[in-house]
Structure 1
Amino acid sequence: MKVAVVQAAPFLFDKASALEKLVAMSKEAAAAGANLVVFPEAFLPGYPRGLGFGARVGSRTDGGRRDWERYWASAVDVPGIETELLGETAKELGVYLVVGVVERDQEYSRATLYNSIVYIGPDGRLLGKHRKLVPTGTERLLWGQGDGSTLTVIDTSFGRIGGLICWENYMPLARTAMYAQGVDIYIAPTADARDTWQATIRHIACEGRCFVVSCNQFATKASYPADLSSGGDIEGDDDILCRGGSAVVGPLGEYVAEPLYNEEGIVYAELDLSAVTRSRFDFDAVGHYSRPDIFRLDVNKRKQAIVSSQTEGWI
């Protein structure tokens, strides 16, 4: 099968811009023969790199709150109108779409946002989602924490796909939970463009004996609105805010497609899924190389509820 890794960023805080770019680049990837098209972390509606939203320890500004309200308004419901559009696109093109989204909570106050991945099938169905378990650093002010119910792996005609977002991939137990579900194509959307990230994805490929698809954004100051209250936070930064580094790694740690830097584009790779089986001949982290008599991992995959309603036993 052929995977397309989209390295791009939309105009920040503009959901329509993000959707338009997503559809156009999906069509380009499908025309090149891709079966699976992957977009970066928080692509819809964008990753607000460098913005502080007027927050300091002990205080928040009114302008920062208004910037966050604008970000909230550009987020998406899962499922919702935007995922329906993604489904129409995937069905028209006959591809699997894996998209990083900023998801708005639909169950309680609707105020909390989550950094999520959505999986769309070639029949247009929403197949599943994953919410980032631990937002990194100051991301914690923007996004809530996911739970184990969305440690998602999807069966496809060419193998099992699933993944973790950015620095979740530094969580050994989270990776093990993915390996234990037999993931063959491990999706790793990220916002980390450092050289050390390449070492991370190559290690995961060797450890999990799976293909790793790492997808990052290419973002510049030109993709930011000029009227943000916290826009001054990036004034001293370089024009290129994120240089990319999207790549595909094989199950023995070798590059199938080397990192792309300093430009927008689509990274393509042909994946021979039989290589996954061959790679596990001498190492299978959750099979013959595990020691369940010594080590044990318990994964709580129950959905965590804030409020539990009871109708019996109350007077």
Structure 2
Amino acid sequence: MQTQGIASAKFILCGEHSVVYGEPAISFPFKQARIITTLKEIEGSEHQLISDFYTGTLSQAPEKLTAVKALIPHILKRYQCHSVLEITIDSSVPVGRGLGSSAVVATSITRAMLAFLKRPVISSNVLPFVNFSEDIAHGNPSGVDAITVVNEQAVWFEKEKGLQSLSLNLTLPIVVADTGIPSETRASVAAVRDLYQKNNIEVSACISQLGEISREIGKEITTHGDLHTVGDLFNQAHQLLRKLSVSSPEIENLITCALDNQALGAKLTGGGRGGCVIVLCKDKQHAQKMATQLSAAGAIKTWISMIGE
């Protein structure tokens, strides 16, 4: 028997880093990039993993796949299954770009395994396993990646209050542009924490302002529906994230390109210091032109996402 699990990426619209300190974040599914996991039972004594990153026995997979190495036997043990599996992972989600790759692969694997085990492939069954994997991958994640990827819907998330789904009142023409530089979320979060400890008053003010920006963006996209206001808020958020030391020359290069080409707003998304930027455009035609300009400026890949369409 062969089963599959599919999961799409996500991106954070606003609230990076400040969400760790209890402020809200808004996150969206990003269906232009996804992972498909295919499982089948095989002969032998060791699970086999096939992927672009590594192919071989699961037990010998490199350190970057520690969460995957732990997740698969964890699920099998939970359901008292002793099958030996071949796990094939086909991914179009770039790793370390702030698009939730670790949550996506965990969700894809979990869905495939639940189908293999003939268990209901529903969010309430999938999420605990994805959280287990994310804890291994990131130490103390906010939880927003797992929730967005598993639930496949726009999410308003606050660490102490949980999540609520968002219903948009407008379409957001977004270009996601990859700098080509991996973003180490754990290192970025630690850097902000160090900055917070050294300069508590100034950093606390930045974090509070980022929280207020998330609230304003939430109002705009669900009620007022003014793209220019959302774009201005993007720009304000990026200036604050720059103060928190999580931008990079590659990010700034793409931000400058976007604003020079009449973007309504542009900011980093995810942990920063690499990864991706998101650019708010006027409409789909503008987004298509923007993608071309960003590629010419050095983005190694671009995607267009018409959020809310």
TM-score band, normalised by shorter chain: under 0.3
Per the normalisation by structure 1, the TM-score is 0.25
Q: In proportion to residue count, which structure has more helix?
A: 2
Higher relative contact order (CA 8 A, sep 6+): 2
> What TM-score do the two structures reach when normalised by structure 2?
0.26
